[in-house]
Amino acid sequence: MLITDDFLPVPVPESLDATYLVPITGLPKVSPKTAVDGLAGRLAEPVHGLARQMLDSPLMTVDTRTVDEFPELPPDLLTAFGATEEQLARLAAATHLVVVQAEYRPGWPPAHEWAARAVAAAVAETVGGDVVDVFGLQFLDPAAALRSLPDDQGRIRLVDWVLVPYSSDSDGLWFTTKGLRRFGLLELQAQGVPDHLTRAWGAVMTGAARRLLRDWTDGLAGDEVPAFVQLPVLATVTGHDIAVAYGNPEQHGATAPVLLRLELDPATDPDADSFLSLNPPPGHPGPPGRYFAAACATLFNGIQPDVRYTRTGDAMSRAVETARAALGDIRARFLAGRLPEESQLVVKYGLPGDDGPEYVWAGVTSWDTPERIVGASASDANTDPSVRIGSPVVVEASDVVDWAVLDGTGVLEGGWTQAVLDAGERGED
């Protein structure tokens, strides 16, 4: 095996398995094969045929067990991954579990996952119940489980298979993926991510997962399963990677790529998981969070600083007036937690400069008094070397000229001055 500084050898497991549950009361009245036959015409090929073939092979088992025969699923973790009270109640009331398990070699397609999920969804439909993805500790209704399977062109949304949970520590946010091990690949992690990048960095992680999964499955394309697949140490992530992972390939893709350095972080505990860590590329100065913020700005066409002036009575002045008039309302919504889930409030304010004010953006972290906003800079300032991506800033509300609510796809609300600037760049009146 050739090993170079440009590639990282990642071990390949000998086989992969998938487990899905269908909680029921009493015993199922329809066989799994009959249930799968009922999906004819609704489930794209080759998945429908694959599910039928695996049902007839030793690679899949479908058993009905009493609830007591299966290890208890942790309600707190199920809740953390989106379980509703109704779903948990149905699980608690169930007397039996239909257990669907499948095994297959690493590579593409991931037949064990596709077939097991299809069979479990078919059974759940016949009993009006839920599907429980044991790997992801997620409830899926049968329709959602079937939608997650490949379409007639073999396409899936990676977000239906890979989650990106995060937690907070003293250095910022710690992101991991949960789902790449379905395909035999180690999970990804990134540490020291700025707090205001929760949604955006989660999307970057998903895009990185899509790119690395493609490299991974390309390395498994031969007849024999190799012991290692060599992944590039410098992974390139583009807006197109993110868009495809979310099932919207036409939505994004014109942005510049960003580089992330891949590093193997092996577990010291045999029961713990090893990770592939995403880091800034070699030579990047400053903390990782600064690079992560810059990467998000690149990939999402982030709101950039500008040094243009407003003129009384023009469109820019009207934009500033509109934004300032709504400051009180957006502050109240921010404090009440009424902004969209996983969104970020940012404000635009002026920094004095020799050639006039430079307007920069900051992510709002607290706004206890109407006059003063505490946040983290979303960009590097040209006029003030202390204002750098991720650095803490205190903004006087009187200096604010705009605000916006962002998520991983862009501006959800606000951003009036940016709209004026963008229109000017396009030559619009």
Which domain, by its residues, includes 357? 314-425
Residue 389, in any domain of the structure: yes
Claim to verify: residue 396 and residue 291 sit in the same structural domain? no
pLDDT of residue 384: 76
Claim to verify: residue 288 and residue 168 sit in the same structural domain? yes
CA distance 142 to 139: 10
pLDDT of residue 3: 40
Residue 6, in any domain of the structure: no
163 has pLDDT over 60: yes
292 has pLDDT over 80: yes
239 has pLDDT over 90: no
pLDDT tens digits, one per residue of 29-69? 899 999 999 999 889 888 999 999 999 999 999 999 999 99
- Mean pLDDT, rounded, for 117-129: 96
pLDDT of residue 342: 74
Claim to verify: residue 17 and residue 152 sit in the same structural domain? yes
pLDDT of residue 305: 47
309 has pLDDT over 80: no
2 has pLDDT over 60: no
pLDDT of residue 361: 87
Residue 7, in any domain of the structure: no
pLDDT of residue 23: 96
- How many angstroms separate the Cα of 224 from the Cα of each of 98, 122, 177, 236, 317? 33, 32, 28, 28, 66
* Among the ranges given (124-128, 323-327, 390-394), the one the predictor scored with the smallest mean pLDDT: 390-394
Claim to verify: residue 135 and residue 168 sit in the same structural domain? no
pLDDT of residue 4: 46
The residue from 273, 300, 327 where one domain ends is 300
pLDDT tens digits, one per residue of 76-95? 889 988 899 999 999 999 99
pLDDT tens digits, one per residue of 366-379? 999 999 999 888 77
Confidence of residue 302 (pLDDT cuts 50, 70, 90): very low
CA distance 241 to 206: 8
Residue 113, in any domain of the structure: yes
Claim to verify: residue 151 and residue 172 sit in the same structural domain? no
CA distance 210 to 374: 35
Q: Which has the higher per-residue pLDDT, 315 or 147?
A: 147
pLDDT of residue 378: 77
Nearest to 348 by CA among 360, 339, 356: 360
Confidence of residue 111 (pLDDT cuts 50, 70, 90): very high
Residue 309, in any domain of the structure: no
pLDDT of residue 355: 63
Residue 242, in any domain of the structure: yes
- Give the β-pairing of 275-279 and 187-193: parallel
The residue from 246, 272, 300 where one domain ends is 300
CA distance 176 to 150: 25
Give percent of the chain with pLDDT exceeding 70.
Answer: 90
Confidence of residue 250 (pLDDT cuts 50, 70, 90): low
Confidence of residue 301 (pLDDT cuts 50, 70, 90): low
CA distance 51 to 41: 14
Read off the tokens for 175: 């992101």
408 has pLDDT over 80: no
Q: How many domains does the chain have?
A: 3
Claim to verify: residue 140 and residue 118 sit in the same structural domain? yes
128's torsion region: left (phi>0), alpha (psi -120 to 50) or beta?
left
CA distance 402 to 382: 19
Claim to verify: residue 56 and residue 190 sit in the same structural domain? no
- Are 376 and 196 a contacting pair, CB within 8 Å? yes
Confidence of residue 423 (pLDDT cuts 50, 70, 90): low
Claim to verify: residue 121 and residue 192 sit in the same structural domain? no
Claim to verify: residue 248 and residue 372 sit in the same structural domain? no
pTM: 0.72
Residue 328, in any domain of the structure: yes
pLDDT of residue 409: 65
Provide CB contacts within 8 A for 268, sequence distance 6+: none
pLDDT of residue 249: 66
Claim to verify: residue 18 and residue 152 sit in the same structural domain? yes
Claim to verify: residue 50 and residue 151 sit in the same structural domain? yes
Residue 275, in any domain of the structure: yes
294 has pLDDT over 80: yes
310 has pLDDT over 70: no
Claim to verify: residue 90 and residue 19 sit in the same structural domain? yes
Provide CB contacts within 8 A for 168, sequence distance 6+: 174, 195
The residue from 129, 156, 183 where one domain ends is 156
Give percent of the chain with pLDDT exceeding 90.
Answer: 54
Strand partners, 404: 346, 414
Q: DSSP states of 277-301 as a string?
A: EEEPPTT--S-HHHHHHHHHHHHTT
pLDDT of residue 68: 93
